[in-house]
Amino acid sequence: MVKIPAALLASAVLFLLGTGFAPIPALTWLAPLPVLWLAPRVSGRAAFGAASAAYLLGQAGQFEFFLRTPSVPLPIGITIVAGSSLLFGLVVAFFRALLRRGRALTAVLAAPATWVAAMHLITLANPSGIIWPLATNQAEVPVVTQIASVTGAWGVEFLVLMVPCAVAALLSTRARLRVGVVAAVICALTLAFGAWRLAGAGDAVLRRVAVLAATRYQWAPDAAGPEGQELVRGYAARIASLPAGVRTVVLPEGAFGTDEAGLPRVIGPLAEAGRGRGVDVVVGIVHTTPAIKYNYSVLLPADGSAPAYYTKWHFAPGAPFKRGTELVTAGGRIGLANCMDLNFAAPSRDYGRAGTRLLAVPAADEFGNGWQHSRMGLLRGVESGFSLAWSAQWGTPMISDPWGRVLAGTSTEGTREPFVTAVADVPAGPSGVTLYARFGDWFGWVCVAGALLAALYGRQRLVDGEGDDLVVAGREPAGAA
């Protein structure tokens, strides 16, 4: 049948263009639609196979990253790509089964709930955390992402899949009124909340912030060596020439590698440059001791007080680093984190509950994932109500506000300049703690419960012999696999 390869190819192309490292946000919503439309018109096996293959082909842009990155072991990378493709196939098959049993509205809500539920449960065990496969692509559509302050980014993930499910159901069943009304109400409430929250965004400035990164990728160069000392001098000179009013500057993760003897050769010059300019300096340092290694985000206060050391919490399996467990803040308003830490709810949610208004994050993006990773961090800021200063090696240094609006950004690629800088005035942010920071991943657990209930209800309907109000032509018999 022509419709199977046509739907498969259409969804694959839309996933390729609408997700990944440089997505077109509008296409993310359309990508699932062709295979969802196909699902009730073919057998269950065909629906599952077409959906899984479409998603897998649509992730082609991710393959090189997982083949080359040291941050995610290759077996985990393969599991992420293959596993998410199979999961998408199962979700589409579940949608089909409920739709063909006459439960159109249940299908529209249960399919995205199942996707979110599975992703949420997997994240609890995945040592690499998550970069939301659908929600992250909407990071620069703030009227949509505001819901993350209530539901976490899981709410965005749910919505992006629910909309094409609703359209597919409207094209396939008689239950158009119920499906249309419920889907329209959910979308309208989400957009109204987003518009209301953005309208209340404050203008009061917390401070002027800069992100500064060398354009040559150098992971933890020896600070005591000639190249390391040249890099120290280069960063110090750029700090000394920052625009007027900058009060915090963030440098990348692994900007320098040190041992006990070499550490002062980084801390001293950068702290001196910061004091001379009245700027707090945050820098990523990989520090080696005879016993263990540390991946630090180090705060060098402008007032000359003692440096504060944040120890990174999350690493790839087997990384030989000390894992941190403590939050580090400056004056209770500025917090420190480190790259992969934002793949997880903690520590960013902990900072939100503690009243942090700016999270300074040295990062080390690689192999083209800079936009995707920084926007994942942006969503963490919306979830927990803080601005984000993300400074990355080989990536896209960026500053965003608590409402997910990109205030300034740059790129370490495509320039001959030795350093790039972005500067922005970050706002004080919303008053109080966001609902997500207060209650955590409650929406993910609601989706787990909803998916289980839908599965049990759909099974009971099959036993009772009820359902099937499809009106599509050429469909398989109601009992087809």
Which residues have C-beta within 8 Å of that of residue 59, sequence separation ≥ 6? 15, 16, 19, 20, 81, 84, 85
195-204, 243-252, 406-415, 425-434: range with highest mean pLDDT: 243-252
- Per-residue pLDDT for 78 more than 50? yes
Q: Average pLDDT over the chain, rounded to whole?
A: 92
Distances (CA, A) of 252 to 11, 164, 171, 363: 37, 39, 49, 5
401 φ, ψ (degrees, to nearest 5): -100, 175
User: What's the rounded Cα separation, in Å, for the pair 52 and 34?
Assistant: 13
DSSP 329-365: EETTTEEE--GGGGGSSTTHHHHHHTT--EEEEEE--
In the chain, what is the straight-line distance between the N-terminal and C-terminal CA atoms, in Å?
17
- Band the pLDDT of 150: cuts 50, 70, 90: very high
- Band the pLDDT of 395: cuts 50, 70, 90: confident
pLDDT (mean) for 367-375: 90
Q: What is the pLDDT of residue 72?
A: 77
Per-residue pLDDT tens digits for 451-472? 999 988 766 654 444 444 555 5
User: What's the rounded Cα separation, in Å, for the pair 55 and 237?
Assistant: 47
Per-residue pLDDT tens digits for 80-103? 889 999 999 999 999 999 999 989
Per-residue pLDDT tens digits for 160-218? 999 999 999 999 987 788 999 999 999 999 999 999 999 989 878 889 999 999 999 89
Q: What is the pLDDT of residue 461?
A: 55
pTM metric for this prediction? 0.93
Q: What is the pLDDT of residue 388?
A: 98
- Band the pLDDT of 76: cuts 50, 70, 90: confident
- A 10 A CB-CB count for 472 gives 13
Contact 216, 420 (CB under 8 A): no
Q: What is the pLDDT of residue 470?
A: 55
- Per-residue pLDDT for 222 more than 80? yes
- Per-residue pLDDT for 474 more than 50? no
Q: What is the pLDDT of residue 476?
A: 46
- Band the pLDDT of 376: cuts 50, 70, 90: very high
- Per-residue pLDDT for 67 more than 90? no
Q: What is the pLDDT of residue 389?
A: 98
pLDDT (mean) for 262-289: 97
**Lowest-pLDDT range, 59-68, 229-238, 322-331, 406-415?**
59-68
pLDDT (mean) for 133-158: 98
Q: What is the pLDDT of residue 481?
A: 38
Q: What is the pLDDT of residue 204?
A: 86
Which residues have C-beta within 8 Å of that of residue 452, sequence separation ≥ 6? none
